Amino acid sequence: MFRQQFYKPATLAILVSSFSGLLLGIPQRAIAEDVIPDIDGGPSGVEPAGPRSDCFGSQDLPFTALMPVTEKNVTLTSSTKPSFFFYVPTSKAKTAKFILWDENRTVIYTHTIAVENRSGVIEVPLENPDFDRDLNVGNSYRWSFSLICSDDDPAENATVRGWVQRIDVKPDLATQLDNASPRDRINLYANAGIWHETIATLAHLLETDPQDSILQSQWIDLLTSVGLNEDLAEKSLVSFGN
């Protein structure tokens, strides 16, 4: 199914008591350098708009890829067509562009998304009729996601970059996933360090039940446990709703 959407605004439930349920707790190996490939490539991380850009105006949350903060910005997936998640603040951009390269640095996918007058969490799925290939096990792919604030001056645009590597799921984990509920799969993926399926499973559950306080707490725990800003984690919850 093709999924490309901003999650619609909803009222953020205020968490007035400490979370006493299951803590998601991404294990250290999920963000440790020893589980990511040794990649020789271009820059990763955030490439902000130029100093004279008025792309964003005044806003308190930055344009952010929702992923672990690591030196090389590499995440793991077990899917042939994973999803990518971003927080997009209010900006003057009318479109955003996602680009994916293979290991030969060949562009294998380009997708443009309308973002005018929109902000919040956006999911960019590779499960798309326009993308007719699978990510291969063991291969690493470079990606970028840009807010196009100016068609004439690239310095006006803002870009986040990173890498995704597809890994194979071990037989025992595959069996556990087959027998688990969607909520239980969150921890199974997290314990295996498989970022894309961890955040996608949780995001889709929040989309269905945005007022669930346990899911809300897990979302905050997930993002902050991998080095993302707590304020962003909390405020991004307003993106989920009906």
Write the DSSP string, 143-180: EEEEEES-SS-GGG-EEEEEEEEE-PPPHHHHHHHHHS
Name the helix (H) or strand (E) containing 72.
none
Residue-wise pLDDT tens digits, 93-134:
999 999 999 999 999 999 999 998 888 999 999 998 889 899
pLDDT in tens, 52-75: 457 887 666 889 999 998 877 899
Interatomic CA distance for residues 96 and 114, integer angstroms: 6
Q: Tell me the domains of the chain and their CATH numbers.
A: 24-231 (2.60.40.1930)
Tell me 104's DSSP state. Answer: T
Nearest Cα to 239, choosing from 99, 49, 66? Answer: 66
Per-position pLDDT tens, the chain of length 242:
224 444 433 322 222 222 222 334 444 343 333 344 444 444 445 555 544 457 887 666 889 999 998 877 899 999 999 999 999 988 889 999 999 999 999 999 999 999 988 889 999 999 988 898 999 999 999 999 999 988 888 888 889 999 999 999 999 999 999 999 999 999 999 999 999 999 999 999 999 999 999 999 999 999 999 999 899 999 899 888 64
